[in-house]
Amino acid sequence: MPSPPSRRWWRRAGAGVLTFAVLEVVLVLADTGPDAVRLALLVATCVGVLGLVLDTLSEGGPSWTVEVERPSVREGGDPRLARYVNLIEAHLAARSADGALRDRLATLTDQVLRQRYGVHRADPRGEALVGPDLAAVLDGPVRRLSPADIDRCLTRIEEL
């Protein structure tokens, strides 16, 4: 466990004073005539810079944990529902039109028509059941669907 910042700096200051004293004694014994004020400033600067570098390097890196703002359907829910939610969220967040949602809606429509009526969308009876609004989304050009458009399509598929 790292020590509190004030305790670290007191230890560094003590180490700086000790370093100053040792350097002063060595330089006096070497008969170099050291200037005590300049030596003290040099030692204080070195201790300060070294302390800042050590503090910066000892900090933990960036936190890669993401805090969830809202509960997710994906956590322990139905994986199929989670895939659908992902698909819709990706469609709504995309910068350009993506055909993945339209293709999935077409697949769902085909499944419902086949299970409930035994027909395909291409059959005349299937076309009549689907209706013009849903058919325009499924067979028309790829476009961005608004949440209201998605809701209308899903409601129509549920009503089949």
pLDDT digits (tens, 9 = 90+) for 133-146: 888 888 888 888 88
Report residue 37's pLDDT band, with 50, 70 and 90 as the boundaries. Answer: very high
Which residue is listed with tokens 């000892």? 58
Amino acid code (one letter) for 111: Q
Q: Is 9 exposed, middle or buried (0-12, 13-18, 19+ CB in 10 A)?
A: middle
Q: CA–CA separation, 106 vs 101, rounded Å? A: 9
Q: CA–CA separation, 92 vs 109, rounded Å? A: 21
- The pTM for the full model equals 0.50
Which residue is listed with tokens 């200037």? 35
Q: CA–CA separation, 79 vs 107, rounded Å? A: 18
Report residue 76's pLDDT band, with 50, 70 and 90 as the boundaries. Answer: low
